[in-house]
A and B are shown apart, each in its own frame.
Chain A
Amino acid sequence: MTTTAAAHDDLHAGPAPPPRGWRRLLAPGWLRVPWMSALFFGIGLGITLLVRWAEGWHPIWDGQVITTVELTAVPFGILAGIGGFDYWARYAIGSPTRPEDHSGHGAYSWRDYFRVNTDHKVIGVQYLVTTIFFFVAAGLTAMIMRAELARPGMQYVGNQVFNELFSVHAALMIFLFIIPAFAGLGNYVIPLMIGAPDMAFPRLNALSFWLLPIAGLIMLSSFIVPGFGCGWTGYAPLCSTHQELGAVFFNMGVQWAGASSIMTALNFLVTIITMRAPGMTFWRLPLLVWANFTTSLLVVIATPFIAGSQFMSMFDHIMHTNFFNYEAGGYVLGYQHIFWFYSHPAVYIMMLPGFGIASEVISTFARKPIFGYRLMALSLMAILVLGFSVWAHHMFVSGMAPWLRVPMMVTSVVIAVPTGIKVFSWLATLWEGKLNFSTPMLFALGFVSMFVIGGLSGIYLAAVPIDIHVSDTYFVVAHIHYVLFGGSLFTIFAGIYYWFPKMTGRMYNERLGKLHFWLTFIGFNATFFPMHYLGIQGMPRRVSDYAPRFADLNFFISIASFFLGASTLVFLYNMIVSWNRGEPAPANPWRAHTLEWQVSSPPPVFNFDEIPQVVGGPYEYGVPGARHAVFNGDRVTEEEEVHA
Chain B
Amino acid sequence: MRRGVLVRLVAVGLAVAAVTLAVALFVPWLPTPASKQADRIDFVFWFVTAISIAIFALVVAVILYSVVRFRAAPDDDSDGAPIHGNTTLEIAWTAVPAVLVTVIAVVSAVALAQNEHLPKNHLRVNVTAQQWVWSFTYPKYQGLTISQLRLPLGETVQLKMHALDVIHSFWVPQFGQKQDLVPGITTQLIITPKRLGTYPVVCTELCGEGHALMRSEAIVMKPKAFAAWVVAEQRAVAKASQAPGGGGAGLAAFNSNGCSGCHTFKPAGSNATTGPDLDNLAADAARAGKPLEAFARTSIVDPNAYIEKGYQPNIMPSTFKSLPKQQLDALVQFLTAGQKK
Contacts and interface: CB of A to CB of B under 8 A. Distances in A.
Interface of A: 154, 158-160, 162-163, 229-231, 235, 237-238, 242, 326-327, 330-333, 366-369, 371-375, 397-399, 402, 405-406, 409-410, 413-414, 416-417, 420-421, 423-425, 427-428, 430-437, 445, 448-449, 452-453, 456, 459-460, 463-466, 468-469, 471-473, 533, 536-538, 540-547, 591, 620-623
B131 to A, nearest CB: 8
A367 B80 contact: yes
B146 interface: no
A527 B93 CA distance: 32
A465 B94 contact: no
A476 to B, nearest CB: 10
Given A464-B112, A469-B178, A623 B101 contact: no
Interface in B80-124: 80-86, 89-90, 93-94, 97-98, 101-102, 104-105, 107-109, 111-112, 115-116
Given A414-B101, A427-B62, A433-B80, A538 B209 contact: no
Contacts of B202: 538, 540
A231 B312 CA distance: 21
Interface of B: 27, 29-31, 38, 40-41, 44-45, 48, 51-52, 55-56, 59-60, 62-63, 66-67, 70-72, 76-86, 89-90, 93-94, 97-98, 101-102, 104-105, 107-109, 111-112, 115-116, 131, 165-167, 169, 171, 173-174, 176-185, 187, 200, 202-213, 312, 314-315
B212 A543 contact: yes
B209 A229 contact: yes
Contact of B179 (A397, A409, A428): A397
Residue picked from B67, B182, B187, most chain A C-beta under 10 Å:
B182
A417 B72 contact: no
Contact of A456 (B41, B56, B315): B56
Contacts of B62: 427, 430-431
B25 to A, nearest CB: 14
A510 to B, nearest CB: 13
A449 B209 contact: no
A52 B108 CA distance: 56
Contacts, number: 267
B31 A468 contact: no
27 contacts: A159-B210, A159-B212, A235-B166, A235-B205, A332-B185, A372-B85, A372-B86, A398-B180, A406-B105, A413-B105, A432-B70, A434-B80, A435-B71, A445-B67, A449-B63, A452-B59, A456-B52, A459-B52, A459-B104, A464-B109, A471-B204, A542-B206, A546-B212, A547-B200, A591-B77, A621-B80, A622-B80
Contacts of B38: 469
Given A332-B184, A431-B70, A463-B108, A371 B83 contact: yes
Contacts of B173: 469, 537-538
B317 to A, nearest CB: 11
Interface of B is mostly: mixed
Given A373-B84, A435-B66, A452-B55, A465 B29 contact: no
Given A332-B167, A414-B101, A459-B101, A466 B66 contact: no
Contacts of A423: 59
Given A159-B212, A230-B206, A452-B59, A435 B67 contact: yes
A591 B171 CA distance: 56
Contacts of A591: 77
A407 B301 CA distance: 48
A468 B177 contact: yes
A357 to B, nearest CB: 18
Contacts of A373: 84-85
A433 B66 contact: yes
Query: Which 7 pairs of residues, A with B, have the shortest CB-CB distance?
Result: A326-B184, A538-B173, A622-B79, A622-B82, A433-B80, A543-B212, A472-B204
Contacts of A537: 29, 31, 173
Nearest to B84: A369
Given A230-B206, A326-B183, A372-B85, A465 B44 contact: yes
B208 A432 contact: no
Contacts of A371: 83-86
Contact of A620 (B52, B82, B86): B82
A363 to B, nearest CB: 10
B308 to A, nearest CB: 15
Given A399-B179, A432-B80, A463-B44, 16 more contacts: A238-B208, A242-B165, A367-B80, A399-B187, A406-B109, A432-B70, A436-B72, A445-B67, A464-B112, A468-B178, A469-B41, A473-B171, A533-B27, A537-B29, A621-B80, A622-B82
Contact of A460 (B45, B112, B209): B45
Contacts of A453: 56
B183 A229 contact: no
A471 B84 CA distance: 41
A468 B166 CA distance: 20
